[in-house]
Each structure stands twice: as structure tokens, then as C-alpha cells.
Amino acid sequence: MAEFRMEADGFGKFDVDVEKLWSAQTQRSLHHFRVGNDFKAREMITACDTLEGAMTAASRGGARRGTSPIDAPHDPPFGGSRNRRGGIM
């Protein structure tokens, strides 16, 4: 028979196995959601990565024909300025 300890948070109390290192929030998540058994297919991960790359290129102006995302002009971070060679100062 497993031993439990009482853990509490803002939503109430939960029994947690004494061998587990987590608290009430994690135990509540395990109780209410299927965690750890769902995996995304490799094709879905690749598709999401491709889509994210396309969105990044478009936001940088690289979606224009003949422009590489790396060479696309973009504003320097934190309001910086460019030197005469185009580098960020």
C-alpha cells in the first residue's frame, strides 16, 4: 500500500505519493489531464518547424522574391542604429 502526503495550493488539497518530488499543482494536472502518453508524429514536428521558419522569414521581409531571410533588412534591436556598413552599433 502506497503512502501519501497532503499537499495544498490555492485550489485545495491533494494526496501525493511520498516518493514523488512534485506538489499539488502537478498532481492535479496528472489527475485531470492525460500527460505523457501523447506524442506528435515526426511529420507534424517537421511541418510546424517549416511553418515557423516561413513566418520568421516573412516578418523579416525575406518573403519577397529574391531576398534571403538572412540578408533581409530588419530594425536593430532595442532602438539601436546602424553604422555606415550596415552593421548594428
**Structural domain includes residue 10:** yes
Domain housing 9: 1-61
> What pLDDT is stored for residue 4 in this prediction?
92
**Structural domain includes residue 28:** yes
* C-alpha torsion angle, residues 27, 28, 30, 35 (rounded to 10): -120
**Structural domain includes residue 67:** no
**Structural domain includes residue 29:** yes
**Structural domain includes residue 82:** no
CA angle 34, 29, 38 (to 5 degrees): 25
**Structural domain includes residue 81:** no
**Structural domain includes residue 18:** yes
> What pLDDT is stored for residue 64 in this prediction?
54
Domain count, the chain: 1
Please return the burial class of 84, using the count of CB atoms within 10 Å of its CB with bins 0-12, 13-18 and 19+.
exposed
Per-residue pLDDT of 10-68, as tens digits, reads 888 989 999 999 899 888 888 888 767 667 788 888 899 999 988 888 887 755 555 55
- Extract the runs of DSSP E, i.e. beta strands, from the chain: 4-9, 12-17
The pTM assigned to this predicted structure is 0.37
Across 40-44, 67-71, 79-83, the highest mean pLDDT is recorded for 40-44
Paired with 50 in beta bridges are none
